Amino acid sequence: MEFRIADTFTESLARLSGEEQKAVKITAYDLQIDPSQPGLQFHKLEKARDKSFWSIRVSSDIRLIVHRTAASLLLCYAGHHDQAYQWAERRKIETHPKTGAAQLVEIRELTREVVVPRYVEEHAKPFEHYPESELLAYGIPREWLDAVRQVATEDEALELAGHLPAEAAEAVLNIAAGQPAMRFLAANAESVPDPFEHPDAQRRFRTIKSEEDLRLALDFPWEKWAIFLHPSQRQLVEKRFNGPARVTGSAGTGKTIVALHRAVHLARTHPGARVLLTTFSDVLAQALRHKLRLLLAGEPRLGEQIEVAALDAVGGRLFERVWGAPRAADQAAVQRLLSEAAAAAGERPFSQRFLEAEWAQVVDAWQLRTWEAYRDVNRLGRRTRLPEAARQRLWAIFSRVLSGLEAGGLVTPHEIFTRLAAHYATENSSPYDFAVVDEAQDVSIAQLKFLASIAGSRPDGLFFAGDLGQRIFQQPFSWRALGIEISGRSSTLRINYRTSRQIRQQADRLLGPDVTDVDGNREGRETISLFEGAPPGIAIGESESAESEQVAAWLRTQVAAGVPAHEIAVFVRSEAQLPRAQAAIAAAGLQCAPLDAATVPGGVGLATMHLAKGLEFRSVAVMACDDEVIPLQERIAAATDPSDLDEVYNTERHLLYVACTRARDHLLVSAAAPASEFLDDLRAQCR
Nearest CA among 292, 327, 316, 149 for reference residue 216:
292
SS3 per-residue string spanning 96-138: CCCCCCEEEEECHHHCCCCCCCCCCCCCCCCCCCCCHHHHHHC
As a whole number of angstroms, the distance between CA 154 and CA 610 comes to 34
Burial class (CB in 10 A: 0-12, 13-18, 19+), 574: middle
- For the chain, give the mean pLDDT: 86
pLDDT in tens, 586-630: 999 999 998 865 455 679 999 999 888 878 899 999 999 999 999
- Tell me the pTM: 0.77
Distance of CA 50 to the CA centre of its chain: 37
As a whole number of angstroms, the distance between CA 132 and CA 140 comes to 10
Q: Residue 162: pLDDT band by 50, 70, 90 thresholds?
A: confident
Query: What is the residue type of 578?
Result: L
The answer to whether the beta carbons of residues 72 and 102 sit under 8 Å apart is: no
Q: Residue 409: pLDDT band by 50, 70, 90 thresholds?
A: very high
As a whole number of angstroms, the distance between CA 237 and CA 625 comes to 38
As a whole number of angstroms, the distance between CA 654 and CA 468 comes to 9
User: What was the pLDDT predicted at 687?
Assistant: 45
As a whole number of angstroms, the distance between CA 309 and CA 302 comes to 16
Mean pLDDT, rounded, for 657-673: 94
Q: Which of 250-254, 316-320, 473-477 has the lowest mean pLDDT?
A: 473-477
As a whole number of angstroms, the distance between CA 303 and CA 293 comes to 8
User: What was the pLDDT predicted at 370?
Assistant: 95
DSSP code of residue 561: T
Q: What are phi and psi of 667, to 5 degrees?
A: -140, 135
The answer to whether the beta carbons of residues 521 and 490 sit under 8 Å apart is: yes
> How many other CB atoms are there within 10 angstroms of residue 299's CB atom?
11
Q: Residue 52: pLDDT band by 50, 70, 90 thresholds?
A: very high
If one compares 525 and 330, the residue with the highest pLDDT of the two is 330
If one compares 517 and 304, the residue with the highest pLDDT of the two is 304
Give me the percent of the chain exceeding a pLDDT of 90.
Answer: 51
Q: Is the pLDDT of residue 86 over 70?
A: yes
Q: Residue 176: pLDDT band by 50, 70, 90 thresholds?
A: confident
Query: Residue 93: in which H helix or E strand, if any?
Result: strand 91-95
Strands 91-95 and 102-106: antiparallel
User: What was the pLDDT predicted at 187?
Assistant: 44
Helices (H), 201-251: 211-219, 223-227, 231-238
DSSP code of residue 31: H
| Range list for CATH 3.30.2310.20 in the chain | 2-203
Mean pLDDT, rounded, for 326-339: 93
* Beta-carbon contacts of residue 194 (< 8 Å; ≥ 6 apart): none
Q: What CATH number does the domain located at 229-320+416-523 have?
A: 3.40.50.300
Which residues, listed in sequence order, are joined to residue 26 by a DSSP beta bridge? none
pLDDT in tens, 360-392: 889 999 999 999 999 988 776 555 567 888 899
Q: Is the pLDDT of residue 247 over 90?
A: yes
Q: What are phi and psi of 2, to 5 degrees?
A: -75, 135
User: What was the pLDDT predicted at 190?
Assistant: 57
Give me the percent of the chain exceeding a pLDDT of 70.
Answer: 89
Mean pLDDT, rounded, for 427-456: 92
The answer to whether the beta carbons of residues 613 and 284 sit under 8 Å apart is: yes
Q: Is the dihedral of CA 607, 613, 614, 620 positive or negative?
A: positive
Which segment, 220-234, 450-464, 630-644, is predicted with the most confidence on average?
450-464
User: What was the pLDDT predicted at 110?
Assistant: 55
Distance of CA 337 to the CA centre of its chain: 40
Nearest CA among 219, 217, 220 for reference residue 209:
217
| Range list for CATH 3.40.50.300 in the chain | 229-320+416-523, 534-683
Q: Would you list the DSSP string of 579-640?
A: HHHHHHHHHTT--EEETTSPPPTTPEEEEEGGG-TT--EEEEEE---BTTTTTTHHHHHH--
Q: Would you list the DSSP string of 240-274?
A: --SS-EEEE-STTS-HHHHHHHHHHHHHHHSTT--
User: What was the pLDDT predicted at 446?
Assistant: 94
Task: Using CA atoms of 164, 166, 167, 168 in order, give the dihedral in degrees to the nearest 10.
Answer: 10
The answer to whether the beta carbons of residues 111 and 104 sit under 8 Å apart is: no
User: What was the pLDDT predicted at 120?
Assistant: 45
Mean pLDDT, rounded, for 555-572: 94
Q: Is the pLDDT of residue 142 over 80?
A: yes
As a whole number of angstroms, the distance between CA 244 and CA 246 comes to 7
Evaluate whether the domain defined by 2-203 bears CATH number 3.30.2310.20: yes
DSSP code of residue 221: T
Q: Residue 642: pLDDT band by 50, 70, 90 thresholds?
A: low
Mean pLDDT, rounded, for 434-462: 93
The CA-based angle 599-605-606, given to 5 degrees, is 110
Q: What CATH number does the domain located at 534-683 have?
A: 3.40.50.300
The answer to whether the beta carbons of residues 68 and 3 sit under 8 Å apart is: no
Query: What is the residue type of 429?
Result: S
As a whole number of angstroms, the distance between CA 512 and CA 29 comes to 49
As a whole number of angstroms, the distance between CA 510 and CA 278 comes to 28
Q: Is the pLDDT of residue 181 over 70?
A: no
pLDDT in tens, 197-237: 888 898 889 888 877 777 766 766 545 556 667 777 888 99
